[in-house]
Every structure is written in structure tokens, then in C-alpha cells.
Amino acid sequence: HLKPGKLDVLIDTAQNAPDRRFRCEAIINLSIVRTMGSPDEQKRASDVLAELAVSKDELVAAAAAWSLDVEPDKEQLKEWLVPPLK
């Protein structure tokens, strides 16, 4: 489960960030929530990804469509994880 408000921030970033890099990063995070969040979080993330998958922005649409198709597992998450600062 996410901290209160975190999902809202991810959704807002995925939908509205002016920089595509941040939108796509939020979309990837929504993919993780879609498969590993609480049932309510999973539904909200899936709904937003479905909306974004038909975006006029082709890059955002492709990232969202990919995120709907991918089922992140623990090995995938290890690849995506940013190592902590030492």
C-alpha cells in the first residue's frame, strides 16, 4: 500500500507533468501500483493507464499501453530500483 496521497501525486504527474520524462516515469510507477497495490489502488492505476493509453501524445500512449501489458515481478523491480545513496 502507498502512503496517503502518493497515488494522487503519481496520477497527477502522469497526466499533467509538462516534461514527458516525468510523465513516463509516473506511468511506470503506476504499472507497479497496478499489479502490487491494494485493490482500490490497482483499479485507480489501471483506469488512469487506460486513459493515457489513448493519449494524443504517442510516447505517453505507448508507455501507458506497455504498462498495461507488463506484469512487473521481483526481478524486474530489482532492475528498476535505484540504489540508495551511500
Q: How many CA atoms lie within 13 A of 24 on its CB side?
A: 11
Task: Give Dmax over CA atoms of the chain in angstroms.
Answer: 41
> C-alpha distances in angstroms, 62 versus 3, 57, 65, 69, 82?
28, 9, 5, 11, 23
| Residue-wise pLDDT tens digits, 19-68 | 999 999 999 999 989 988 999 999 999 999 999 999 999 999 999 999 99
DSSP state of 57: S
pLDDT at 2: 83
